[in-house]
A and B are shown apart, each in its own frame.
Chain A
Amino acid sequence: MAINTEFIGRTYPATAPYAVGREKIREFARSLGDSNPMYFDVAAAQTAGHSDLIAPPTFAIVISMGSGEQVVFDPELGLDYTRVVHGDQRFVHHRPIVAGDELSCVVSVDDIRTVAGNDMITVKTEIMDSLGAPVSTVYSLLLSRGEE
C-alpha cells in the first residue's frame, strides 16, 4: 500500500498534558551516562537560574514520540511501521524543559515524499506549556524502506 500524500498539512488535536518529573529527567540522563548536575541537583539548577531540574537537549523526543504515534500508526496513512527507520531529527528549543512542566503537543504532517521507493514522512511536533507558550519544536523524519 502506498503512503497517503493527502496527509501533508494535516494537524492533530493537542495531546493531554505530559507531566515532566524530576525522576524521569534523572532516569533519562542516567541512561545517557550523563551526570551533569543540572539534571540531578535541584539546588545547582536553581543557582543557574532554572526553576527546577532541566531536561537534556534530546529529552523532548520522549514527549514528541508518544504524541507522534497518532500519526504514524494511523491506518489511513499507510506507513509500514515494521520497515521504518529514523532518518533525520531536529530540535528547536524556545526554552529548556523543566521538571514540573505540563507539556502538550500539537502534531502535524510537514511533508511526505517517496524517493527511490522509500516513503518519507516529516512529523512536526509543537510542544507547549500549560499557558500555551512554545517550549520546543521537534521535527522527525521517518523513512520506510521499500521492499527489495
Chain B
Amino acid sequence: MGVEEVAVGYELPEQEFTITRADLVRYAGASGDFNIIHWNERVAREVGLPNVIAHGMFTMGLAIRVVTDWVGDPSAIVEYSCRFTRPVPVPDDSVGTVLFVNAKVTELLDSNRAVIALTAKNDGVTVLGKARAVVTLPA
C-alpha cells in the first residue's frame, strides 16, 4: 500500500532500533550535545538516573524514521513534536537496548496533509509522549 491510499487508521510499517553506548557517542559528536549523562555512567547514577541514558533527541530522531522511510522524501515532515516521558537507559555491553516504534494515521487535514501518531517503547515502557508528525502526502 502506498501513501496515495492513506486513510485514518492506516498503520505504517513498524521498526525496531538497537541503541548501544557507541551510538550515543556518535550522536553526541554529530549533534554537539555532550551532556555527560549520555556517556558517563558514574555521573548519570550520581544524579539519580538508572544508567547512562540516550539523548531524547536521539530517540526522537530514530522514531521519525518510521515516517520518513515510508514517505520517502523527509521534506514531507512539516511538523514533529513529542514529550520525553521516560528515559532510555543504555547498558555498557555489546547488546544495547531496543526501541520499538509504531505509527498510524490519526487524521487527514486539508492541503493533502496527514497527522501521524507515533508510539515509541523501550523495555515495555512508552518513552515518547504525544509523539506526532504532520506530513504532506505526495499528490
Whether A89 contacts B30 in the complex (CB less than 8 A), given A56-B61, A58-B64, A83-B47, comes out as no
Partner of A58, one of B17, B32, B79, B80: B80
Partner of B83, one of A28, A32, A58, A87: A87
Partner of B78, one of A32, A87, A93: A93
Interface size on B, residues (CB 8 A): 33
Whether A92 contacts B79 in the complex (CB less than 8 A), given A36-B74, A61-B57, A86-B84, comes out as yes
CA distance A27 to B64 in the complex (A): 17
Question: Interface residues of A toward B: which range?
Answer: 20 to 34
CA distance A88 to B17 in the complex (A): 21
Whether A50 contacts B75 in the complex (CB less than 8 A), given A58-B80, A91-B80, comes out as yes
Contacts from B to A (Cβ < 8 Å): 17, 23, 26-27, 29-33, 47, 55-58, 60-62, 64-65, 68-69, 73-75, 77-84, 133
22 A–B contact pairs at CB < 8 A? A27-B29, A30-B26, A32-B61, A33-B23, A34-B68, A56-B68, A56-B74, A57-B64, A58-B60, A58-B61, A62-B31, A83-B47, A86-B84, A87-B83, A87-B84, A88-B82, A88-B83, A89-B56, A89-B81, A90-B82, A91-B80, A93-B78
